Structure formats: C-alpha cells, structure tokens
C-alpha cells in the first residue's frame, strides 16, 4: 500500500509534467504563428514585381536604353534561376527541420546540421542578390544608379517609398 505522502508526490509530479507538456505545446503553436507572421512580413517587404515584368519595371523607373534592357533581362533571368533554386532548397530544409522536430526524439545533431545548411543558403542568396544589384548598377549611369539605390532601399523598408506594380498571389520573388 502506498502511503499518503508518496501519493501526493506522484500527483504533483503528474501535474508538473502535464503543465510542462501543455506549455511546450502552447510554445510550439506560438512560435509557429510567429514564424508564419514573420514570413508574411518578408513577403510584404519583398519586391512586388513578377520576374517577367521586372525588366519592364526597371526600364520605366530608370529610363533604360535598349542595350541596357537586354543586359537587365539577362541579369534578371540568371538571378531568378539561382534564387528559385536556393528558395526551393530552403523550403525543403525547413520542411525537413519541422519533420525532425515532430519526431518523438528529435536528433539535435541533425537539427544543427539543417540549421547550418539553411544559414549557408541564406548567405548564398544574399550574395546572389548583392551580385545582381552590383551588376545592374554597373550598367547604369549616375542618375540611374541613384534611382536604382532608392528602389532597393524601398524594397527593404516596411513602407515602400517607391510604388511598385502589384502582381498575382501565385508569383513569389525572393530578393
């Protein structure tokens, strides 16, 4: 027969474990919602120009010459291919991370490896964006460079100063 103190201790252990599980569940849901909101904010701040219209947008905003249009079109095509590949790798890694987190016993080494790979891909994407910008800038005259800089700055601000064309929800661009 279990004495009364042991019974009370067991009840408190169960209550504490239930509270820990509940708080972990709430924390997981909360952080998932925070991540969702963060991704929505990133999408809102991202350039609002579909890839096939980006060259036309830059032509109109910067007053590009015909020869500059061809260069911008090729730079845009190359950047979009690379950015698309990296973005899909990131999506795959995020899904893999969530699956691992959902395991009964998540492997921290695997999660650490995934997070490092995600960081490397983010860095690679930023380097590609920098390269894309610098190559575009090199094709521009001084006035165009100033305007290009204003456009890129506006894409990073929460409230854009430059009005960019809207596009359908099915198009996503990463910059």
Give the pLDDT band (50/70/90) at residue 173: very low
Q: Which tens digits make up the pLDDT trace of 53-96?
A: 777 888 888 888 888 888 888 888 888 889 889 999 999 999 99
Alpha helices in 46-141 (DSSP H): 51-62, 66-102, 108-138
Distance (Å, rounded) from C-alpha 118 to C-alpha 116?
5
Residue 19 scores a pLDDT above 50 = yes
146: helix, coil or strand?
helix
Residue that the structure tokens 């950015």 belong to: 83
* pLDDT of 52 over the 90 cut: no
Interval 115-123 mean pLDDT: 93
CA distances (Å), origin 42, targets 38, 39, 137:
6, 5, 24
Q: What is the pLDDT of residue 34?
A: 80
pLDDT in the model for residue 168: 44
Q: What gap in Å lies between CA 108 and CA 174, rounded to an integer?
A: 29
Q: Which of 143, 151, 94 is nearest to 117 (CA)?
A: 94
Per-residue pLDDT, averaged over 94-104, amounts to 90
Q: How far apart are CA 89 and CA 121, in angstroms?
A: 8
Range with the poorest average pLDDT among 20-29, 31-40, 124-133 = 31-40
What does the pLDDT read at residue 160? 38
Mean pLDDT for the stretch of residues 159-175: 42
């Amino acid at each position: 027969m279990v004495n009364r103190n042991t019974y009370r201790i067991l009840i408190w252990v169960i209550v504490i474990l239930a509270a820990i599980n509940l708080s972990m569940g709430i924390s997981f849901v909360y952080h998932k919602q925070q991540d969702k909101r963060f991704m929505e904010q990133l999408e809102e701040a991202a350039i609002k120009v579909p890839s096939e219209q980006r060259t036309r947008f830059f032509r109109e905003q910067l007053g590009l010459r015909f020869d500059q249009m061809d260069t911008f079109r090729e730079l845009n095509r190359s950047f979009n291919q690379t950015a698309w590949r990296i973005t899909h790798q990131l999506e795959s890694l995020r899904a893999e991370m969530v699956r691992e987190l959902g395991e009964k016993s998540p492997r921290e080494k695997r999660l650490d490896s995934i997070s490092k790979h995600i960081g490397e891909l983010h860095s690679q994407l930023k380097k590609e964006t920098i390269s894309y910008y610098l190559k575009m800038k090199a094709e521009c005259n001084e006035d165009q460079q100033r305007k290009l800089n204003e456009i890129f700055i506006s894409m990073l601000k929460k409230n854009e100063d430059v009005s960019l064309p809207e596009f359908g929800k099915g198009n996503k661009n990463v910059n």
